[in-house]
Structure formats: structure tokens, C-alpha cells
């Protein structure tokens, strides 16, 4: 039957959840049965297919199994009604196929990207939508959600929410605001927890300054906001239990995020809730640990009965504002298992790893654990799986150290780039095989990089909620590295960032969180893979970018001061100037092969005039000198610059002159 109306395009992906299946459908009869029960049944009455579905087999890829893809053109007069009808028939068809062909392993995903099937007249926001519960967890596959933390309506404080939001007639404990024009989702609720009173202070001081709120009779009250910027969302999956003409029951929205949710609280003071709310790591240290919040990449909202018109607008706006495909599938929910200690925390495994005497290996293994539940749900829930995985890495390392390190680096990059990792161990094996095949090319590339003055330095990104260990970066060397750590074994590049990768700002994070994130690291250092690192210095560009170098502090208690003295005598009265001068030692530069003899340079008078803020004469020519054309040609030749293109300006670091 052909229906006149608006055309749209949808895709249906089918795959087998059995790990060893190299094909989705074993016979042509199964494939045709899938088309008849899942696809064709969706296009009757008000819906029509623009033609037969185009099926295409997709082979196995690095991070996902093979699947069958069907592209279908659909037509409907009124998509506000047909949209949910299509999805519901898709859900029903999937269940019918599984029962009829005894293929419970077949999972299906409906993708909608066409704007034609979505709402055209947008509402600017959808606010105060009742939420039954929300969870933080991890999608092992699009069809399986591991719940790490769950907050139900029965555990929140309705009165605190209504007072904070000034909504006395509200009867729902958890509400969601989709502020589309502000590109933000806000989940809000009231909460009351035991306060750190003198009689029972269960929180340490460093925690207490982050969590003190309105205290009454040993309890504290706050309005809590879980914020998700739309630019954090990288995947949208929708599921529901059943639907009628006007409402959807058990609708669940899964948002796969690029960075952790943001927690804010509105504290009550003088019978008023503070506005705007302030940033925190959690609303309850005991029942909602910060690690459980920051390690989970997926936020799931379970709505109460929600009108189809509201959900239609929410999905239409999020499709547009997030620029993401809408995906629909049946998702099973399981509670996560408790984690075992990470390899570099478990004493026996730590000794086993450190026995080979390679810190780079320990660093990369700890870097895996720093990725949170994306990795830890695979190998920290079973002692056997954890130990077997580490043993395999160690076996590979003893055979080919450089190849194993390269494999782990590529695995980390793969984890950061892909939406899902179905089988961590399988991905590792595929990458290792590819690295083995390319071993000779990799060796030549490393030698070329070294000859050009490049060095590999490990990098750590510290945010308010996490400490992310990044694969070693390839960068042009500097004076400090060439003098004290040519191998890069004892140095870390550290960067301080907000969770959204932007610079830390007091008006966004709050001074307390910045002090906790930056101040503690600079004062006390950081422990990475069992080694203590402390602040060494920063190049001028790093200072602007909230970055610095940390150096291994375990060799000697005063190693940092000893190194600083070796680079020259600096004026300690002017701290900014001292930082700038010493920072030149960290400026990326290539060592010149052109000799500079004592008879080839001399000092020239500075241009001085006026006074600075201290009444001292101001030096206008500070750091500026001259170079002869002959010496400039020699420098250009040393850097393989054509003789006809000799630079007129050089930035040099020589002796104590910068």
C-alpha cells in the first residue's frame, strides 16, 4: 500500500550476540523472515515503504562484530503519530522474529537520522518532566546496560526540591529540564543527608569544605542538579516498555557522554537556597561516591508516563542540537559487579609487573584503569579475567617490549575514539597482531624521530573528578629533557583541565574545586603507577595553557632544587620573572650543531630608560641581540634550510641568555 506524505530514511541493524558467529543469519530463509517480521510489518496502514529494503552485510570490525544493515525509505502523512508507531512496531517485530525462528541471540537497532520524520515547530524547552529514577553506568553493548549507581524517587526529599525551585504544588521527587536553547539537560531533586556535626563528624576537613550545607538537628538539606551539556552527548539510545495513543510507559533515555556529569548544589542559608548553585563532586559522600559518578560514561533517565508529544519534541530537539542519530533498541539492565583492585593496586600483580623493570609498561597498564568503567567492567569484575589479561601482556612484553608498549598505546587511543568496546581482550589481540606485522616499520619510524630531535614524554590530565593517563606524546625536545631525562622515563607533562577539557575557571568550577584539583597536586605531587612526581617547572606556553612538568621525586628529596640550580642563578625576588626565565629550559627547541666559540660573541649595551614599578631602570632591549649573516647561514644549513631562505630572526637559548 502506498501512502502520500513526507518521506524519510531509516536504517535497521541486525547482529548476533553469540561471540563466534561470523554471519548474522545462517540461511536465506532466516534473512527473509527477518525482513518480513521486523521490517515489512512496520510499514502498514499509516506508514509505507518507498521500496524494498536494501540489505547489506557489514564485516567484523575492530570493536564490533559483523552485522546486517537494511536501509528503508519510509513515508507518512503525520509523523507526530507515525514516529512512535514505527518504533513500536519495530520492537514488536524483533520479539516476533526471535520467537518464531528461535534466535534470541539476534539483536536489532533502529536508526533515525532524517529530519523529515521529526518535529518542525520546536518548543524552546521541555521542563519539569517527572523521572521515576536515573542511573549512571556503562553500555557494554547497545543492548546491555550495567548499572553502577541508581537514584529512585523514594530516596530524595520532595520538600527540599519544592523550596529550592519554589514549586509548592509539585508532587514529583525527581524532575528533568531539557533546556534546548541553552544546550543543557538538568536533572534536579532535593536531598537530605547527615551533616558533619561536632557529635558525629564522619567527613574529613578536605571533604567537609566541599559539602557543608544547611544544618538542622544533625542533617543538611540541599537542592541538587545533575547537569549534562548537549556537547557532552555522543550517543542517544531510546527504549520503552509499552505505549498507548497519548502516553509512553517505561520510556528510558540512554545518553552516552564524552565526560562526567556535572553536580551542583543549592545550599540553604538564612532560610533561602543559594543561587546560583555551586559545583561539587557529589551530593552524598557515602551513598553516591564521587568515583561512581565520574567513572560512568552513560546517564540513563527512566521517565514516568510521558506524553508522546513531549517525548517527540525532546527527541527532535536533541537530534538537532546534538547532531546525533536517534537509535532505538531493547536494552537489558543489569547491576554491575564490585571491582577488584586494579593491577597497580593489587600487591601481587604490582610486583609481577614491576619485576620486568620497565616503568613504561606499569604506566600504560595503570592508564587502562584510569578510563573508568569502560575498561574496568571488562577485567576488574573477575579475578581470573584480570590475571589472565595481565599475564598475556607480560608474556608479549618479554618477547617484544617495544611492540607490546605500542599495542597498549593503540589500545588506549581506541578506547578514547570508539563508542563501545564489546570485547577488550579481543581488541587487544587484534591490535597486537597488527603491531607485530608492522614491527620493522615502527622501528625505523622511532629511529627517524629520535634523529630529528623528537622525544616521547608521558602526559597526565588532571580534572576535578579524574586523573587521566595519556599515551606518551611525541614532541620536540627541550634543554631540561636533553640534560636530565633524555629517555623521558622520569618526566611527566601535566595539564589541569575541567572535565569538559576546557580551562579551569573560578566562575564555573568554584575556587574550592580548583584549589583541590591544582593546589594539592602542586604542593604534594601526584602518584602515577607507584611513583611520586612533584612540580618541576613550566614553559611560557604551558603557563598560559595551565600545564607544567612534574619530575620523579623518589631519587632524592631535594632533586628538584638541585636541578634548578644547575640551570643558572635566578633572581628570587621577582617570582614571575624567575618562572619565565626558568621556563625557557622547558621551551621546545632543537639542539644546534653549530659551535659557538668564546671569540664569536660579546656583550652589547642594553637600551635603558625610565623606571619600573620598583623604581629600577627599565630595560627595553632585554633578550634582544644581533646575529651576523655568516652565522645565520650556518644555522640555516644545520637545520637543512635552503641557502636562499635564510631566516632573519632566531629564538635562541645560549648560556644564561634567552
Given this model, what pLDDT does residue 286 score?
84
User: What's the CA gap between 569 and 585, in Å, rounded?
Assistant: 13
Of the two residues 35 and 202, the one the predictor is more confident about is 35
Residue 297 has pLDDT above 90, yes or no: yes
Given this model, what pLDDT does residue 156 score?
93
User: What's the CA gap between 80 and 585, in Å, rounded?
Assistant: 64
Given this model, what pLDDT does residue 52 score?
53
Cis peptide, bond prior to residue 535, ω within 30 of zero: no
All three cell numbers of 640, joined, read 637543512
pLDDT in tens, 94-114: 999 999 999 999 999 999 999
Residue 210 has pLDDT above 80, yes or no: no
Given this model, what pLDDT does residue 42 score?
59
Given this model, what pLDDT does residue 245 score?
86
Given this model, what pLDDT does residue 480 score?
76
Read off the pLDDT band of 215 (50, 70, 90).
very low
Residue 44 has pLDDT above 80, yes or no: no
Residue 198 has pLDDT above 50, yes or no: no
Residue 653 has pLDDT above 90, yes or no: no
Residue 214 has pLDDT above 50, yes or no: no
Residue 170 has pLDDT above 90, yes or no: yes
- Give the other-Cβ count within 10 Å of 187's Cβ: 20
User: What's the CA gap between 532 and 526, in Å, rounded?
Assistant: 6
Given this model, what pLDDT does residue 209 score?
32
User: What's the CA gap between 154 and 172, in Å, rounded?
Assistant: 10
Given this model, what pLDDT does residue 8 score?
85
For residue 339, give the 3-state DSSP assignment.
coil
Given this model, what pLDDT does residue 629 score?
87
Of the two residues 545 and 339, the one the predictor is more confident about is 339
Residue 256 has pLDDT above 80, yes or no: yes
Give the mean pLDDT of 293-320: 96
Residue 216 has pLDDT above 70, yes or no: no
As a whole-number percent, the residues of the chain with pLDDT over 70 amount to 89
16 φ, ψ to 5°? -100, 135
Pairing of strands 332-335, 144-152: parallel
- Sequence-distant (6+) residues with CB within 8 A of 309 are 80
Task: Write the burial class of residue 456 (CB in 10 Å: 0-12 exposed, 13-18 middle, 19+ buried).
Answer: middle
Give the mean pLDDT of 563-568: 70
Given this model, what pLDDT does residue 267 score?
82
Among 40-49, 276-285, 427-436, 599-608, where is mean pLDDT lowest?
40-49
- The answer to pTM > 0.75 is yes
Residue 328 has pLDDT above 90, yes or no: yes
- Give the other-Cβ count within 10 Å of 231's Cβ: 14
- Give the other-Cβ count within 10 Å of 599's Cβ: 6
Residue whose C-alpha cell is 557529635: 199
Given this model, what pLDDT does residue 233 score?
97
Mean of the per-residue pLDDT values of the chain: 86
Residue 656 has pLDDT above 50, yes or no: yes
Given this model, what pLDDT does residue 60 score?
65
Give the mean pLDDT of 65-78: 87
As a whole-number percent, the residues of the chain with pLDDT over 90 amount to 52
CA dihedral of 137, 141, 144, 148, whole degrees rounded to 10: -10
Given this model, what pLDDT does residue 123 score?
85
Among 48-62, 222-236, 268-282, 388-402, where is mean pLDDT lowest?
48-62
DSSP assignment of 508-527 equals HH-HHHHIIIIIHHHHH-EE
490 φ, ψ to 5°? -115, 10
Domains of the chain in start order, with CATH, are 6-117 (3.30.70), 126-335 (no CATH), 347-575 (no CATH), 598-645 (no CATH)
pLDDT in tens, 103-152: 999 999 999 999 888 988 878 899 999 999 999 999 999 999 999 999 99
Amino acid at each position: 500500500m502506498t501512502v502520500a506524505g513526507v518521506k524519510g530514511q531509516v536504517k535497521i541493524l541486525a547482529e548476533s550476540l553469540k561471540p563466534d558467529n561470523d554471519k548474522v543469519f545462517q540461511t536465506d530463509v532466516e534473512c527473509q523472515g527477518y525482513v518480513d517480521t521486523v521490517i515489512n510489518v512496520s510499514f502498514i496502514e499509516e506508514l509505507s515503504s518507498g521500496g524494498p529494503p536494501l540489505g547489506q552485510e557489514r564485516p567484523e570490525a575492530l570493536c564490533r562484530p559483523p552485522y546486517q544493515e537494511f536501509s528503508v525509505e519510509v513515508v507518512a502523512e503525520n509523523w507526530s503519530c507515525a514516529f512512535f508507531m514505527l518504533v513500536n512496531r519495530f520492537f514488536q517485530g524483533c520479539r516476533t522474529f526471535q520467537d518464531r525462528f528461535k534466535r534470541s541471540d539476534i539483536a536489532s537497532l533502529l536508526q533515525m537520522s532524517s529530519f523529515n520524520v521529526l518535529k518542525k515547530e520546536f518548543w524552546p524547552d521541555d521542563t519539569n518532566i517527572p523521572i521515576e529514577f536515573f542511573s549512571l553506568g556503562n553500555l557494554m553493548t547497545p543492548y546491555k546496560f550495567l548499572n553502577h549507581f541508581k537514584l529512585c524517587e523514594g530516596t530524595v526529599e520532595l520538600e527540599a526540591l519544592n523550596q529550592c525551585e519554589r514549586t509548592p504544588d509539585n508532587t514529583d521527587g525527581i524532575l528533568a529540564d531539557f533546556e534546548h536553547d541553552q544546550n543543557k539537560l538538568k536533572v534536579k531533586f532535593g536531598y537530605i543527608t547527615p551533616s558533619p556535626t561536632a557529635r558525629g563528624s564522619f567527613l574529613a576537613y578536605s571533604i567537609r569544605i566541599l559539602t557543608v550545607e544547611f544544618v538542622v538537628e544533625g542533617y543538611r538539606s540541599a537542592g541538587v542538579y545533575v547537569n549534562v551539556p548537549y556537547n557532552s552527548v555522543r550517543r542517544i539510545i531510546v527504549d520503552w516498555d509499552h505505549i498507548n495513543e497519548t502516553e509512553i510507559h517505561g520510556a528510558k533515555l540512554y545518553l552516552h557522554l564524552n565526560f562526567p556529569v556535572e553536580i551542583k548544589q543549592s545550599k540553604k542559608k538564612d532560610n533561602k537556597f543559594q543561587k546560583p548553585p555551586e559545583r561539587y563532586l557529589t551530593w552524598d559522600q557515602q551513598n553516591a561516591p564521587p568515583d561512581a559518578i565520574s567513572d560512568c560514561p552513560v546517564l540513563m533517565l527512566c521517565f514516568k508516563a510521558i506524553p508522546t508529544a513531549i517525548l517527540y519534541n525532546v527527541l527532535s530537539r536533541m537530534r538537532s542540537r546534538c547532531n546525533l542519530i536517534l537509535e532505538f533498541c531493547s536494552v537489558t539492565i543489569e547491576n554491575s559487579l564490585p571491582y577488584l583492585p586494579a593491577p597497580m593496586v593489587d600487591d601481587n600483580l604490582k610486583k609481577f609487573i614491576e619485576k620486568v623493570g620497565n616503568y613504561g609498561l606499569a604506566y600504560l597498564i595503570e592508564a587502562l584503569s584510569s578510563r573508568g568503567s569502560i575498561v574496568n567492567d571488562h577485567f576488574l569484575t573477575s579475578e581470573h579475567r584480570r590475571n589472565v589479561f595481565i599475564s598475556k601482556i607480560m608474556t608479549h612484553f618479554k618477547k617484544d617490549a617495544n611492540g607490546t608498549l605500542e599495542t597498549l598505546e593503540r589500545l588506549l587511543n581506541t578506547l578514547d575514539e570508539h563508542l563501545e568496546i564489546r570485547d577488550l581482550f579481543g581488541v587487544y589481540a587484534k591490535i597486537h597482531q597488527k603491531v607485530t606485522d608492522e614491527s620493522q616499520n615502527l622501528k625505523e619510524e622511532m629511529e627517524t624521530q629520535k634523529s630529528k630531535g623528537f622525544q616521547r614524554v608521558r602526559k597526565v590530565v588532571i580534572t576535578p573528578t579524574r586523573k587521566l593517563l595519556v599515551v606518551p606524546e611525541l614532541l620536540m625536545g627541550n634543554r631540561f629533557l636533553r640534560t636530565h631525562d633524555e629517555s623521558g622515563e622520569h618526566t611527566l607533562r601535566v595539564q589541569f583541565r575541567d572535565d569538559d577539557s576546557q580551562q579551569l575557571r573560578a566562575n564555573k568550577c568554584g575556587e574550592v574545586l580548583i584549589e583541590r584539583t591544582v593546589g594539592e597536586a602542586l604542593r604534594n605531587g601526584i602518584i602515577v603507577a607507584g611513583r611520586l612526581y612533584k612540580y618541576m617547572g613550566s614553559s611560557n606556553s604551558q603557563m598560559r595553557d595551565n600545564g607544567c612538568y612534574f619530575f620523579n621525586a623518589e631519587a632524592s628529596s631535594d632533586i628538584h632544587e638541585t636541578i634548578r640550580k644547575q640551570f643558572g642563578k635566578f633572581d628570587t625576588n621577582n617570582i614571575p620573572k624567575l618562572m619565565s626565565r626558568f621556563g625557557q629550559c622547558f621551551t621546545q627547541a632543537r639542539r644546534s650543531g653549530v659551535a659557538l666559540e668564546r671569540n664569536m660573541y660579546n656583550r652589547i649595551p642594553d637600551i635603558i630608560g625610565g623606571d619600573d614599578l620598583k623604581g629600577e631602570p627599565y630595560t627595553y632591549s632585554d633578550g634582544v641581540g644581533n646575529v651576523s649573516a655568516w652565522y645565520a647561514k650556518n644555522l640555516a644549513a644545520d637545520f637543512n634550510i635552503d641557502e636562499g631562505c635564510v631566516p632573519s630572526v632566531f629564538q635562541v637559548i645560549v648560556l644564561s641568555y634567552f
